[in-house]
Structure 1
Amino acid sequence: MSLSSRRVLVTGGAGFIGSHLTERLLADGAAVTVVDDLSNGDRDRIPDGADFLEADLTDPDALEGHLEDIDLVFHLAASKHVDTDRPHGQFDDNTRMTRNILEAMADAGVTEIAYTSSSTVYGEAPRPTPEDFAPLEPISAYGASKLADEGLLSARAHSHDLTVWNFRFANVVGPRLRGAVIPDFIEKLLDDPERLTILGNGRQEKSYLHIEDCLDAMCHVVEHADDAMNTYNLGTRTTTSVDRIATIVADELGVDPEREYTGGERGWTGDVPKMRLSIEKLAALGWEPRRSSDEAVRQSTRELINELR
């Protein structure tokens, strides 16, 4: 299935991944409508050529009358803070948004949805973690909400003629990223190049996927996978530690700070210290990332320094 000439709704399209996805879809010839409440997104990120609806998707009527001409939904909107101080509210918001979207799709006869899940659904699983690993035991409310949403989508896919592309992301990095380790380190070192505070012990180690590779993978899966429920890990075969990220950021800024650690194996409550997803299923579908984790981190560091200076 080609995305060219498709009519696509992107929820969360003013956010980091959503705004890049909107640009990619427009470039591929799709007609795009962005839905975002702008609580985390930025209106200025939405490119010319996309229609925009400001709406709160926890409202069951938010999409009323807006899906009649839509072929495919990319659902990225979510409350994303893993260490939130309102875990039950976050779980309720995320699952309510997905339920409301599914109901609106059913009312409008839309039968295709691509959903951005997360590696957090696996919890602290053996690495590399394949899509069929079980039991899934997330350790954060965010991960629990993503797993619950996957359940809602699976139930609809297998009982109501819905096609779902379900993406379990590694850490996606690139321009416009905020509230994550790379921009955090850049901002700290621009403010004080002599000292860098690192959450945890610095030995947390995860896969990092550049946004360009992420978009390529998402579009490839949608265009080539055609089961009712298509679940794919999106990541790299490599990992990068927090200490290594600190080294890369310092190198790109030309500084040599003293490092201070807050201690413990986790950076925050709900943080999974070690994560690497198996991408064998994705490779079997014909796609491999162009960049390693280190290469994704370094390219993103350069891009973000240009934005944040």
Structure 2
Amino acid sequence: MKALVTGGAGFIGSHLVDALMESGNEVRVLDDLSAGSLDNIKRWLNHERFEFIKGDMRDPGVVKRAVEGVDVVFHLAANPEVRIGSQSPELLYETNVLITYNLLNAVRDSSAEYLVFTSSSTVYGDAEVIPTPEDYAPLEPISVYGGAKLAAEALISGYAHTFGFKALIFRLANIIGERSNHGVIYDFINKLRRNPEELEILGDGTQRKSYLHVSDTVEGMLKIFKHFRESEKTVDFYNLGNDDWITVREIAEIVSEEMGLRPRFRFTGGVDGGRGWKGDVKFMRLSIEKAKKTGWKPELDSYGAVRRTVKELLRTI
């Protein structure tokens, strides 16, 4: 299989590249390195089955060249910062919706048979059913980021049904692990390094969400993709997350413990009833029953994933 991974030098993308290369596939990466790093994929840079293209997906010509000759496109390129939506919605549009539109036009005119897209749990908004299944409706994102992901999903579905390729869409919980360079654990570590005596925590600390380690994420993506290829579906949706969830306060306690610190916790109080920021989904846990029916299940629960990630990041950042 010849695969294109957009955002392949980023956090999740680089772990996916590792798995694809280790399985003997040909891999091409398209990344502008705005959020990713060549260090994440340096082991493959001179490999005969690997190709790296530095390019901005807002340029349709760049995208068209990257898609040429591939069998499957794993579309992970995106601005990963949910919070930026309230300050720069136009940037989230460009780096989530526009680049997906450019990619779909390139796929339409190519030999690619499959598109795999990493969407987000944020498309569900404040779901009234928890754990939230894939067929939950109506989808009502409460952030511009969630809206952009949902818009990309809709475009992908429309293009796949119209132009004859198959599309697999993953709605991801909070994905954590080595090489991540944003998010609550990353922020807590850096805050405590600056001030070991006090830790600022956005919101009221009761926000509760599901976390999945990147190793379980990539394994799930590839196992479910294999299952999807053998199905009759044109477009299909799968949640990837965990059966449990963890509060922000509990994450702060694990980070402090692993760093050997006992800081004071200072909660900002947050907005809209204790959320960390405008558009923050306060409670999120996805149903993963559909994914588990394919034979996948996460090795680490949310607590295990958080603790492993803290250890990984303390070694590397």
TM-score normalised by structure 1 residue count:
0.95
Partner of 1:77: 77
Matched residue SS, 2:239: strand
Shift of residue 94 of structure 1? 1.5
TM-superposed deviation, 1:33: 0.6
1:29 aligns with 2:32: no
Q: Distance in 2 between matches of 1:30 and 1:183?
A: 32
Amino acid corresponding to residue 90 of structure 2 in structure 1: H
Question: What CA distance in whole angstroms lies between the structure 2 residues aligned with 1:66 and 1:97?
Answer: 13
1:303 aligns with 2:306: no
1:201 aligns to what?
Answer: 204
User: In structure 1, what is the Cα distance between the partners aligned to 2:170 and 2:64?
Assistant: 26
Residues 53-97 of structure 1, C-alpha deviation per residue, up to 9 Å, x if partnerless? 011101111123333321100000012221211113312432111
Alignment counterpart, residue 10 of structure 1, candidates 5, 23, 28: 5
The equivalent of 1:125 in structure 2 is 127
Mapped partners of 1:217, 1:233: distance in 2? 10
Query: 1:54 aligns to what?
Result: 54
Q: Distance in 2 between matches of 1:291 and 1:262?
A: 30
Q: Matched residues in 2 for 1:77 and 1:182: separation?
A: 22
How many residues end up aligned between the 2 structures? 303
Secondary structure at the aligned position of 1:26 is classed as helix
- Select the residue among 283, 293, 306 that pairs with 1:284: 293
5 Å-filtered alignment, 1:212-223, equals: 212-223=215-226
Q: CA RMSD in A?
A: 1.1
In the TM superposition, what are the counterparts of 1:161-240 in structure 2 within 5 Å?
161-225=164-228, 226=231, 227-240=233-246
Structure 2: unaligned runs, 5 residues or longer: none
Q: Counterpart in 1 of 2:96?
A: 94
Aligned to 2:265, the other structure's residue is in SS state strand
Query: What is the correspondence of 1:132-143 to structure 2 with a 5 Å cutoff?
Result: 132-143=135-146
Contact map agreement 2:6 2:74 (CA 8 A) in 1: yes
Pick aligned residue for 2:162 from 159, 162, 165: 159
How far did 1:44 drift?
1.8
C-alpha distance in structure 2 between counterparts of 1:189 and 1:95, whole Å: 35
What amino acid sits opposite 2:63 in the alignment?
Answer: L
| Partner Cα separation in structure 1 for residue 142 and residue 268 of structure 2 | 21
Deviation at 1:155, TM superposition (A): 1.0
Asked if the contact 1:91–1:144 (Cα under 8 Å) also holds between the matched residues in 2, the reply is no
